[in-house]
Structure 1
């Protein structure tokens, strides 16, 4: 993907209509009576279109200003617990494939291009990525599944954008869809609209993705079999109840768009809420070294994740704590 420009949903056509359940049309019976020599009556049945879903931001809502390296006091424990996974998984999902960095002079990177700058130090980060899919990969999964985490880590490493269909327990929409498509309720389930390939089994999905969109080599931390699955499970212990069970919510007409990556604890707490509310979302992976960091920087004049774009309300915003509050206020029933 180019290192500059803007990114929009139009660049990522969804290869099939979102499998949202359709409301049954309301039926109204109208009885018409006429007098013409003898009593007669006829009944006419008409169909009414279902009322559209009403989605709007909270009253007087204003997106917050982004704040770098600041954790809201009431969210410190949550962010700390979400950070523990970095230890168990050795920061897998933090860096894009082929990540490298170099210290450069401040003048070497133009002010309109992204670089990590802190206290007068400028760090230029790069990566080596494989072929880029034309359409986003589609993955059906849920946050607290260790096998799903393995797949989320590899798509962050490969810097792939993914259309996630959350499948929390008791979720009414996408769990049944997986059974319909693949024949069994098992997660993760991947669909690649670019090749027509669909499959279960996290290790098979990983091998497919690195072979199709990477250099064919699976990162060591994702190639250890049982040990990989075990550490993925341990990484989730501090958040085991999050992103697991469905909370009734409005199903949006369009998927939300989230700039994030698997290794960030700030992104994780937002993803948990999206999964619990079963909100489809296009995740723009932007791990360290991703060229999409520069795209967001040029789009907003600032890089920070998570960054949410909601095409259903027009809201765009930084700051994980406020994003969570916005999502719950807008979509929870």
Structure 2
């Protein structure tokens, strides 16, 4: 009972984080074909600058290989330093173009230019007041996803279907970061304004049908619904919806 209450409190905190970020990272601006080679992001979930990059990845429907680098982490921080020369995050590595980029503003500009063929839209441009609000947003989630915790490492990375603004998905990403578990982040942002709202209470009434031919449609055809977070662990064969169930699984399977 106490765990369930605590989980709901965490959800409300995560809602506050999304609110301080003005709910960026929910709607898809332009669906981009996935590049031939996966984009890699060395990332710290609680970092507001990393959040800016993840928001844009959702806006472009781009999947990414997440290499979690929480403070005190020993798994991917040295690797990031070897790749880029320093432990600074976010760090984006794109083997399609042989680009290694620091600084969230530079990464955001690169992603829109390289994959959308356009400048950064106003909604995603850096504003003077954003760092303060984003930092408050991280504090609202008690800085979860900031520091490494002991745990077991899977042999293969996990797969998480998510979008940045989803409060429920954030809870899972925070725990994956703390445990330093690498994962493929499959962005499943909302493709139309009628999809705004929780999975079971969208703005548009009636039976939900995603836009044909899109990523959400492919997910719907496979699972009969579109709901995030959704986790697949090829190490154990587990396939899970619902943040509470996923968190319990991660703590049981990989927690220290």
TM-score when normalising by structure 1: 0.67
- Equivalences, count: 232
2:98 maps to which residue? Answer: 196
1:314 is the counterpart of 2:216: no
Unaligned runs of 5+ in 1: 1-71, 98-127
Partner of 2:176: 274
SS of alignment partner, residue 226 of structure 1: coil
2:229 is the alignment partner of 1:229: no
The answer to whether structure 1 residue 187 and structure 2 residue 105 are counterparts is no
1:295 maps to 2:218: yes
Helix, strand or coil at the partner of 1:257: strand
Distance change in 2, residues 1:318/1:206 (3 Å): same
String of CA shifts for 1:43-65, please: whole Å, max 9, x gaps.
xxxxxxxxxxxxxxxxxxxxxxx
Residue 117 of structure 2 is aligned to residue 212 of structure 1: no
- Whether the 8 Å CA contact 2:20–2:134 is kept in 1: the answer is yes
Moved over 4 A (4+): none
Q: Is the contact between residue 257 and residue 284 of structure 1 (CA under 8 Å) also seen in structure 2? A: yes
Q: 1:324 to 1:173 in 2, by over 3 A?
A: same
Contact 2:32 / 2:62 at 8 angstroms: preserved in 1? no
Normalising by structure 2, we get a TM-score of 0.86
1:82 Cα deviation from its structure 2 partner? 0.3
Normalized per residue, the structure richer in strand is 1
- Larger fraction in helix: 2
Deviation at 1:131, TM superposition (A): 4.7
* Partner residue in 1 for 2:206: none
In structure 1, what is the Cα distance between the partners aligned to 2:254 and 2:8? Answer: 25
Residue 295 (structure 1) shift: 1.4
Q: CA deviation at 1:207?
A: 0.6
Q: Which residue pairs with 1:263 in the alignment?
A: 165
Q: Distance in 1 between matches of 2:61 and 2:143?
A: 28
Query: Unmatched 5+ residue regions in structure 2?
Result: 193-213
Structure 2 CA distance for aligned equivalents of residues 74 and 147 of structure 1: 27
Of structures 1 and 2, the larger Rg is shown by: 1
